[in-house]
């Protein structure tokens, strides 16, 4: 039998991430989630949502792990890649997914890519004003 409270917390955390315009860290999720959910449960939920491929991790240049919702181009697709650029603002520290920017790279023939994570640092349009 599933833990109902954990399922409710999982749904609440997923909605929080899905509705955010920026990627969120564990600390930001904990602060925004006013539910009675401890930090360990949040970590477990984030791991589960990542394994279910509905959110993805972004590691910022400072080493902070942030989470963003996946935007599946094809909802029938079983597994997708996160082939887009993440932008880390050096001023406000917000991380956004730039869905329409596809990175390119070339590796030697012997290498097999399992995961790609591109993070570009700079100043976002809001902070450049």
CATH code of residue 113: 1.10.10.10
pLDDT in the model for residue 106: 87
Return the structure tokens found at 102. Answer: 């596809």
Residue 20 predicted with pLDDT over 60: yes
Give me the chain's average pLDDT, please: 84
* Spatial separation of the C-alpha atoms in residues 16 and 51, rounded to whole Å: 18
Count of domains forming the chain: 1
Tell me the C-alpha to C-alpha distance, in Å, between residue 56 and each of 50, 51, 83, 120, 127: 6, 9, 11, 16, 25
User: What does the pLDDT look like over 45-104, one tens digit per residue?
Assistant: 999 999 998 999 998 888 899 999 987 644 445 555 566 788 999 999 999 988 788 778
Domain carrying residue 75:
4-128
pLDDT in the model for residue 1: 44
Please give the average per-residue pLDDT across 110-125, as a whole number.
86
């Amino acid at each position: 039998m599933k833990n109902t409270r954990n399922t409710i917390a999982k749904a609440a955390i997923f909605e929080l991430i899905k509705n955010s315009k920026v990627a969120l860290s564990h600390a930001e999720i904990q602060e925004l989630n006013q539910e009675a959910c401890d930090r360990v449960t949040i970590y477990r939920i984030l791991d589960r949502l990542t394994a279910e491929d509905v959110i993805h991790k972004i590691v910022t240049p400072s080493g902070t792990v942030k989470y963003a919702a996946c935007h599946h181009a094809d909802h029938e697709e079983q597994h997708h890649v996160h082939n887009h650029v993440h932008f880390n603002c050096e001023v406000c520290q917000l991380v956004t997914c730039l869905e329409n920017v596809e990175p390119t790279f070339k590796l030697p023939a012997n290498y097999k890519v399992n995961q790609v994570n591109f993070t570009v640092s700079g100043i976002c349009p809001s902070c450049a004003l």
